[in-house]
A and B are shown apart, each in its own frame.
Chain A
């Protein structure tokens, strides 16, 4: 069985400071990991993904995520937060080694950036 956890319901950061949104996962095989962002009353927008290769993945809007196999984590980071980054962020996982594996999402983390 696969699962993904976002341990923080909300993260508050001052503008200009670095931000981290945490995600941990569990899969039987090799993970295929995603981050998405959702603005109010909108669908999800793709930020970045990890399949294989370099553990540091760069994505849209200056975001990056670090894959850590030993800690089964895929935390989302940004060096300097903007007020416009305030949104709901979702981590998702799929088991690459299972053809019947669906893509499942974490519960989401609300990121609030204060001016």
Chain B
């Protein structure tokens, strides 16, 4: 069974540009979470999508947005990039309404110059 995949592995942008990060969940998982991890520190909750809808979002500005597609894959968009957006962005998937385990992808390293 394939795990959670994320693309691209690395992304380099300049200030003011837009970044798009992608995540494909484990087959059978309907829910996708996005987290930001800056400087190898803690995980900050960004967004939670389930069955195509946004269920919750963390304390991030509106320029962080995303969506979930009918096949449950997800996209995270960051507009008007700022230097402090440089981080590892982790996606995780889980089968909701169960006591299943959340599994993580390898992450996308976003660098803003």
Nearest-CB distance from A57 to chain B (Å)? Answer: 12
10 contacts between A and B (CB under 8 A): A41-B109, A43-B90, A43-B104, A43-B105, A43-B107, A49-B99, A96-B99, A99-B97, A102-B55, A107-B42
- How many B residues touch A, CB cutoff 8 Å? 25
- Interface residues of chain A, those whose CB is within 8 Å of chain B, are 32, 34, 36, 40-46, 49, 51, 88, 90, 92, 96, 99-100, 102-108
Interface residues of B in 33-88 (CB under 8 A from A): 33, 35, 40-43, 45, 48, 55-56, 88
Whether B33 and A102, one on each chain, are in contact in the complex, defined by CB atoms closer than 8 angstroms, is: yes
The yes or no answer to B7 lying at the interface (CB within 8 A) is no
A102 proximity list for chain B (CB < 8 A): 33, 45, 48, 55-56
A51 proximity list for chain B (CB < 8 A): 99
Query: 1/0 per position for B87-106, CB-CB distance to A under 8 A?
Result: 01010101001010111111
Whether B90 and A46, one on each chain, are in contact in the complex, defined by CB atoms closer than 8 angstroms, is: no
